Amino acid sequence: MDQATMPKEISAALAKAQAVARSVEKTKTNTHHGFKYASAEDVIAVAREALAEADLALLPVATKFRRSTGTLDENAGACGFLDISYRLIHGASGHVHEMTTEEAVCPQPAKERGWVRPLDKAIFAARTEGLGYMLRELLLIPRQDALDVSGRGDGDDRGPRGGQDRQQGQRGQDRGRGGQASPGPSRGAQGSAPAQGGGQASPPDPSDPKLAEELRLLRQRRSEAKAEKSTEKLLLADTAFASAVEAHAATLQSSQAVEDLAALCDSLRFPKGRPAAAIGAAITQARARVAPATQST
């Protein structure tokens, strides 16, 4: 996803949207390979809620089709690419941020003659799938095995040849999916301290199930940003994590809960910067707040 420097008002709103964006339930099953996946439509629905809560609007502004030379087999099922431009708008400030994505267009010929998926449907499916992938990357929505591979069939759950081939490296650029394995939920993504000096015990998750799940998702998004080596995405993920810590640290009622949260944050080894400072201040304030109650018991 190609994007220029983002205005600070949009960055702050996007961090909020990433913090509230929930994972997408896998409601579809690919009948060809048997795995469950989240459709692009489901991703779009989740993303729309998160963007609206953060006072952000997204508009598609331009689409350009670039036809490839050679046959479908020579191009891993793609006959061309769509360059899709989007505009991210912050309601309160009116600031605008432009983004451009690339999506392969993969028509599917029938075995005998004609087309299972003609060009017009392939273009429509590429737009839908491209929007789903772009929103997943923009909001760091946790990966759910696979996004919309059935969309290219326009309702056909067999899974497109082009989409699978593209994941084998047909594309020349890394967009957080094709050609790179998904960074799955490793122990590090679940909040364990990295093993150093013989290994360390995993810090406990917060006792509040809602907080534990929210921080788990934010840790997973942070892990994905680090795996992609994206400084901008990592900063946004760290900012979202810091916002969640600030909000929940103020509600903790016991010293043990505060120390559990502090241990969890320490295990993630945030680099020096505004998110780390915000987390440190929130933990310090929480410790000071619960200390009198602890001493009186």
In a domain, 197, yes or no: no
33 vs 115 pLDDT, higher one: 115
Residue showing tokens 């998004």:
221
Residue 290 lies in a domain: yes
Residue type, 57: A
Within this chain, do residues 30 and 107 fall inside the same structural domain, yes or no? Answer: yes
Range of the domain at 261: 204-296
pLDDT in tens, 78-122: 888 889 999 999 999 999 999 998 888 888 888 778 887 888 888
Q: Are 262 and 165 contained in the same domain?
A: no
| Residues 35, 128 within the same domain | yes
Helices 8-20, 231-249: inter-axial angle, 10-degree rounding:
60
Point out the domain boundary residue: 170, 194, 219.
170
pLDDT at position 25 is 67
| Residue 45 shares a structural domain with residue 158 | yes
- Mark whether 239 and 150 lie in a shared domain: no
E runs forming strands in the chain:
2-3, 28-29, 36-37, 56-67, 80-90, 96-105, 108-109, 115-117
Q: In the listed set 170, 195, 225, which residue is the last one of a domain according to the structure?
A: 170
Q: How far apart are CA 218 and CA 240, in angstroms?
A: 7
**Mean pLDDT value across residues 58-85:** 84
Last residue of a domain, one of 119, 152, 170: 170
Q: Looking at the predicted structure, is the pLDDT value of residue 227 above 60?
A: yes
Q: What is the pLDDT of residue 157?
A: 37
Q: Do residues 153 and 225 share a domain?
A: no
Asked if residue 144 and residue 11 are part of one domain, the reply reads yes
Total domains in the chain come to 2
Q: Which residue has the higher pLDDT, 244 or 30?
A: 244
**Pair of tokens at residue 174:** 């890394």
pLDDT of residue 229: 74
Quick one: pLDDT at residue 56?
96
Report residue 37's pLDDT band, with 50, 70 and 90 as the boundaries. low
Same domain, 165 and 210: no
- Say yes or no: 215 and 166 in one domain: no
Considering the domain boundaries, does residue 190 fall inside one?
no
HSE of 128 in the Cβ direction (CA atoms, 13 Å)? 21
Tokens representing 196 are: 């150093």
Task: Supply the pLDDT for residue 32.
Answer: 53
Residue 131: give its domain's CATH number: 3.30.390
pLDDT, averaged across the chain = 72
pLDDT in tens, 228-244: 777 777 777 777 788 77
Whether 199 is in a domain gets the answer no
Pick the closest to residue 40 from 24, 62, 64 (CA basis).
24
Question: Does residue 272 share a domain with residue 209?
Answer: yes
What pLDDT does 104 receive? 85
| pLDDT tens digits, 179-209 | 333 333 333 333 333 333 344 444 445 566 6
Residue 71 in any domain: the answer is yes
Q: In percent, how much of the chain has pLDDT > 70?
A: 67
The answer to whether residues 128 and 29 belong to one domain is yes
Same structural domain for residues 154 and 209? no
What whole-number distance in Å separates Cα of residue 5 and Cα of residue 13?
Answer: 15
Domain presence at residue 184: no
